[in-house]
Amino acid sequence: MTRERALAIVNPVAGKGTGRRIAARLAADLVTAGLRADVVMTPGPGEAARLASAAADDGYARVIAVGGDGTANEVANGLVGTDAALGLFPIGSGNDFSRALGYPRKRSMIPAFLAEARTRRIDVGDVNGRVFINAAGAGIDGHVAERVLASARVVGPTLGYFVGALVSIATYRPRTMRIRIDGAPREGKHLIVVAANGTHFGSGMHVAPGAKLDDGQLDLVVAGDLGRWASLVALGKLYRGTHVDGRTVLSFRGSALDVEFDEPQPMQADGEPSRADALRVRIRPRALTVLAR
């Protein structure tokens, strides 16, 4: 067990308000497990990065992101390049990054896991100047991310991603993309391009089965001009990790990805949607310390 100082940064709206409900008892649960922790709630979107950076400056050895992948992303952006370790208390809609680090699914087991976890140095990705820890992508990937929140409120997170993907397959068509992977060009209509650091995204989609968090490489998945039926087939295979066929869905490993579009396209970084007219993705080897199995 450890007595290092820890700060838990709680997203109060994560998990349909679960963050707010557990915040009051969180410190006591962590102390019982052997981890001395202070607890603070984020005052608004984007504030977790600032709180995490200040925590590292104040000497906290561990900073725990209490929320989903978006909260973990914000905290990681505040901790990258410091010695403070990122811990997770996953209560969000996706929680894909916690899967890659070996966190237990049962919430009651997480305090003990955090108290006993070892530190590990991992890679992060950088997309257009912002750190991502799990995956970033554009095309239908970003289109799905824009629609997931509404679907998840009705049918739950896992089914919400699936429903969002079905809606996107019905409405989104492949776009012209000019892609360079470590300088090697590809051009044409593409449905999606994803840079994966972890193995899963989209609440359990097995996008990059061979990805490793500390190999200094990103796993890059590129799908070409798939029609609606082929996209549906690929979606089903995506949950099993068998979607890469070497013809219409390709996989590469690299440290640099550049993508240009004819007009701004939807994109996502760790599940958070936005729009961009280009992607510049780079690997930052072993730039973040995490608490893991």
Higher pLDDT, 164 or 34: 34
The CA-to-CA distance between both ends of the chain, in Å, stands at 14
Residue 150: per-residue pLDDT = 60
CATH number of 132-285: 2.60.200.40
DSSP string, 55-73: HHHTT-SEEEEEESHHHHH
Q: What's the residue count for the chain? A: 293
**3-state secondary structure string, 148-193?**
HHHHHHHHCHHHHHHHHHHHHHHHCCCEEEEEEECCEEEEEEECEE
Cα(159)–Cα(18) distance, integer angstroms: 19
pLDDT at residue 2 in the model: 46
Within 10 angstroms of residue 108's Cβ, the number of other Cβ atoms is 8
pLDDT of residue 3: 54
pLDDT for residue 145: 86
Query: Among 74, 69, 68, which Cα is nearest to 55's?
Result: 74
**146: number of Cβ within 10 Å:** 16
Q: Is the pLDDT of residue 155 over 60?
A: no
Region 167-184 average pLDDT = 94
pLDDT over 60 at 67, yes or no: yes
Average pLDDT over residues 111-120: 95
Fold that domain 6-116 belongs to in CATH: Rossmann fold (3.40.50)
Closest CA to 283 of 228, 201, 211: 211
Longest Cα separation, the chain: 56
Least confident residue range of 78-92, 153-167, 213-227, 232-246: 153-167
Per-position b or e across 73-86, b if 16+ CB within 10 A of its CB: bbbbbbbbebebbb
Predicted local distance difference test score (pLDDT) of residue 119: 96
Separation between Cα atoms, residue 72 and residue 100, nearest integer Å = 13
Q: Is residue 256 pLDDT above 70, yes or no?
A: yes
pLDDT at 1: 40
Q: Name the H helices within 239-272.
A: none
Instruction: Please tell me the predicted confidence (pLDDT) of residue 152.
Output: 58
Q: Predicted confidence band at 162 (pLDDT cuts at 50, 70, 90)?
A: confident
The pLDDT tens digits of the residues spanning 185-226 come to 999 999 999 999 999 998 889 999 999 999 999 999 999 999
Domain ranges of the chain: 6-116, 132-285
d(CA 16, CA 92): 8
Mean pLDDT of 114-136: 96
Mean pLDDT for 72-93 is: 94
pLDDT of residue 278: 97
The rounded distance, in Å, linking the Cα atoms of 216 and 79 is 19
